Amino acid sequence: MSDSRVYRDGDKMVKVYQSATYEYVKQAYLRQKFIYDAGLPIPAVFGITKINETETALEMEYLEGEPLPQMYEGKGEEMLNKAMQIMVKLQCQMNAIDASGLPDLTDMYANEITTTPYLTAQLKETLLNYMKRLDKGKTNLCHGDIHPYNIMYNGDKYWIIDWEDAGKGDPAADACMQYFYSMRWGAKSNNRSYEQYLQLFCQNGEDYMQRFCQSGEGYLRLFCEESGIPREDVLVWLPVIAGVQVNIDDEGDRVFISRFIDEWYKSYAE
């Protein structure tokens, strides 16, 4: 993950990485080219340019469109369900691709967990060991940061963007990333503090999640139906995904995620 800015240049979209190495951007280019060549609906990539010592630009195809949430926000449950169906079909189409040549998704997860200053050494070790138990060496193409804002549409066409975290791995882990986003968004959209949400979650567990995270539950149900992956195989990744997301800049989010991990650790260590 890296800071960046994006601007349009004619029929091109230019993404300028402001703190990443040239090699990092090169790998992002190669990932996106591999995925485009595999036939997924994503922007074509044209090349990379080193601007200065700290900035490198990735040039790609400009596609006119809006983020997927523009399709359903404030438009009722029917439109939300339609958008989630589109997202799930795109995701399963992606997961069907063999990505043996790409980095391991769990290696990227491990890097995020290992380098964060927001977890203790004991929590890091526990999460990494837990992840090793889950990792079955799958080579399905995974996005690495899948959520509705990384899917664009223009009325009748849809495509996926932001592929720098893509790798090979378990589709269940990739789906869990979106589910955990929904947990966080659920607290905000229901006008509750993270502390209130976490207290209710800890008291009621999964039953509360099903009632509270309606968009997440709808997404998860559709994903499991389309992919054939059992619900529990997705949810077991929640602690790992929390460990990956704890690096978030927003302090409220970070406190919520840290507490979530702490509560999981207490039950896991028993």
Pair type for strands 66-67 and 151-153: antiparallel
Q: Is it the case that residue 262 has pLDDT exceeding 50?
A: yes
Least confident interval from 162-166, 169-173, 186-190, 231-235: 186-190
Q: Which residue has the tokens 């976490």?
A: 198
Q: Residue 104's CB: how many other CB atoms inside 10 A?
A: 17
- CATH, domain 66-269, list 3.90.1200.10, 3.40.50.10490, 3.40.50.300, 2.60.40.10: 3.90.1200.10
Q: Is it the case that residue 4 has pLDDT exceeding 50?
A: yes
The backbone torsions φ and ψ at residue 159, rounded to the nearest 5 degrees and listed phi first, read -150, 160
pLDDT score for 16? 96
What is the rounded average pLDDT of the residues 109-122?
Answer: 96
Identify the residue with better confidence: 266 or 196.
266
What amino acid occupies position 42?
I
pLDDT score for 167? 96
Q: Residue 229's CB: how many other CB atoms inside 10 A?
A: 18
- Angle (nearest 5°) at CA 106 between 15 and 116: 70
Residue 268 · residue 261 · CB < 8 Å: no
Identify the residue with better confidence: 206 or 269.
269
Question: Domain 4-61 carries which CATH code?
Answer: 3.30.200.20
Q: Is it the case that residue 188 has pLDDT exceeding 60?
A: no
Per-residue pLDDT band for 66 (boundaries 50, 70, 90) equals very high
Sign of CA dihedral 211, 214, 217, 221: positive
Q: Is it the case that residue 193 has pLDDT exceeding 90?
A: no
CATH 3.30.200.20 intervals, the chain: 4-61
Identify the residue with better confidence: 202 or 175.
175
CATH 3.90.1200.10 intervals, the chain: 66-269
* pTM (predicted TM-score): 0.87
- Please classify residue 164 by burial: count the beta carbons closer than 10 Å to its beta carbon, then call 0-12 exposed, 13-18 middle and 19+ buried: buried
Per-residue pLDDT band for 205 (boundaries 50, 70, 90) equals very low
- List pLDDT tens digits, range 128-184: 999 999 999 999 999 999 988 999 999 889 999 999 899 999 999 999 999 998 877
